[in-house]
Amino acid sequence: MTTLALEVKANPGGFGAEVTGVDLSRPLPPPVLDAVKAAFARHAVLWFPDQPLTHDQLEAFTLQWGEYGWDPYVAPLADRPHILEVRRDASETTTVFGGFWHSDWSFQATPPAITILHAKVIPPVGGDTLYADGCRAWEALSPAFQAMIAPLRAVHSAGRPYGSAGFYAKEAGRTGMKILPSAEAEKTYVHPLVRIHPATGRKALFVNPVYTLSVDGFSEAESAALLGFLFKHMTEDRFVFRHAWAANMLTMWDNRCCMHNATGGYDGHTRILHRTTVAGDAPRAAADAA
């Protein structure tokens, strides 16, 4: 396999790209892997159609990007501690897992750099994933506003969805996945509100409506006002694209610079995807790079 076969077709604006001409069932040769990593750095979301993979092959591909991330509060496959089955059975009426704007596990001290999702069973309707570009959202802010928020830090926690009194602890009827609510989820971690991407050097807004509780040092009302503005800004249509799935498609995205949101619209159909994460570093404040 050579880089000559590799084709990267980017969305308008460059956020998100389709990659063809590679076979993910086998280890990518170093030149090809380097080219795919360069494409990932440029586009933040990559999808690879027509990639049937076994568990072993999915794990091997994941490890080409780094060590596994830590995935708490959701039970993995019984014999694969690093693979989560994101499943919604046809009979379920519960909310769609991940159906709110978020960045995966931003509540951790070192949130995962990358999430990888491999489609197994895809319904004939619905189930698209929305992605929002935190870099372009940052760049679209006025210089004065950028200067004001660049030094700020935000408080993150998994408590609202996964705490002992969180959303998932109160729901009933979920059969496809086993959620593991815990008091441990109520711990808080403080991260830069604007982080610098370790690979590209670009700045990105690093807050999300699910896991970001407040702005450190701000009152509740002040936090709500600032975060409410940022959440609305980050999810404007100009920063978002809608991704449609197909069976055997592998999609990966960069949690360091984008949010995502799983949509529904497939009630009465089963949907199954397998997920891994790649470990990341502690977010570095953009203000430190100024």
* Rounded Cα–Cα distance for residues 148 and 134 (Å): 17
Measured CA to CA in angstroms, residue 172 lies from 57, 193, 196 at distances of 34, 34, 40
User: Per the structure block, which two tokens stand in for 242?
Assistant: 């809608």
Give the least confident one: 34-43, 104-113, 278-287: 278-287
By annotation, the residues acting in catalysis are 102, 104, 260, 275
Tell me if the pTM is above 0.85.
yes
Which helix (H) or strand (E) element contains residue 15? none
The pLDDT tens digits for 251-279 are 999 999 999 999 999 999 999 999 999 99
The pLDDT tens digits for 64-117 are 999 999 999 999 999 999 999 999 999 999 999 999 999 999 999 999 999 999
Looking at CATH, the fold of the domain delimited by 3-289 is given as Double-stranded beta-helix (3.60.130)
Residues 6+ apart with CB under 8 A from 142: none
Please report, for the chain, the start and end positions of each structural domain, with discontinuous segments joined by +: 3-289
* pLDDT beyond 60 at 290: no
* pLDDT beyond 70 at 3: no
Which has more pLDDT, 191 or 287? 191
Percent of the chain residues topping a pLDDT of 90: 95
Cβ contact 141:233 at 8 Å: yes
* Rounded Cα–Cα distance for residues 100 and 111 (Å): 18
What is the edge-to-edge ordering of all strands in the sheet holding 129-133? Answer: 240-243, 129-133, 258-262
